[in-house]
Amino acid sequence: MKKIPYSKYELEKLYDKEGSIGKVASRLSRPYSTVRYWYYKNKIKVQPSCMTIYQELRNTPMSEFQKSIVLGSALGDGCLKLAPHSKNARLRIGHCEKQIEYLKWKYYMLQPFSRKFGLDQLVKEKIYKGAKFKSTNFYSFYTVVHPDITHYYRKYYIRGNKKVSEDIINELDLISLAIWFGDDGSSYRDKRNGSVMCSFATNSFNYKEQLILVEALRKFFGGTIKIDKQGNKDREDLLLRLYKTEHVKNFLYNIKTVLPKCIHYKIALRD
């Protein structure tokens, strides 16, 4: 059994301040069951609760950092889901095997609200527009349903589909921006002149929403932002391109301070 990383005195002080095991777990970004075991092992008396674990977690606010992860994931590879007849929404996040450490980082950052982490889809052959290709193993996890996630679902989803409203201009912060970039961003260097650029894949959003996203990005980026297309006659994908080398380097540096090392390859300036 691993050593408990907090003393009995520290755990008692945390419980006195937070008022419940759920809130202590949230403060420490640890699984609820783990924190509950610490209190049991140290013979620390806590107030009995008539709520289930999930009820207690729904009544425990997410941290501002966790809320930003939810928002950034909603813009990127995450999906907010509201089940029929459910009062609150939950977040599902999934990544391919190459990004499994990045997914694990999100899983731990969202504790105690994240649930079981596991293999979602095995490698298999797919056919797209007549062409065959192999997908990699895909991993995912859900969070518990939670009012703070419902807040973003109500703002950024219509009938189960992602949308962008002007609220994103004020709500996007450096953390949510970094998560969005970690999910959908890329950076590269132009071989012809050495200039550095980066981009966000934004095909989930229509042109009007792209314009709103441009305004949200202007809080963090002082260079040129263009709505662009790439692809061919069969498929054209929208993306936001960011230009002007010094501005891009500063932008990527700020993002790098938030994201874990395992996803820094997206920030490396590739030729």
Write the pLDDT tens digit of every residue in 153-202.
Answer: 999 999 889 999 999 999 999 999 999 999 999 998 888 888 889 999 99
Element (H, E) at 167: helix 167-171
Interhelix angle 147-156/64-75, rounded to 10 degrees, is 30
Least confident of 2-16, 60-74, 111-125: 111-125
- The CATH fold assigned to 64-163 is Endonuclease I-creI (3.10.28)
d(CA 39, CA 62): 21
Query: Which of helix, strand or coil describes residue 187?
Result: strand
Higher pLDDT pick, 55 / 1: 55
Query: Does a cis peptide bond (omega within 30 degrees of 0) precede residue 112?
Result: yes
pLDDT, average across residues 235-248: 87
pLDDT computed for residue 191 by the predictor: 82
d(CA 79, CA 161): 9
Give the residue from 106, 133, 139 showing the smallest Cα distance to 121.
139
pLDDT at 1 > cutoff 60: no
Least confident of 89-93, 225-229, 266-270: 266-270
- For the chain, what is the mean pLDDT? 89
Q: Where are the domains of the chain?
A: 8-58, 64-163, 179-266
Task: Give the CATH class of 179-266.
Answer: alpha beta
Taking the model in full, what pTM does it have? Answer: 0.87
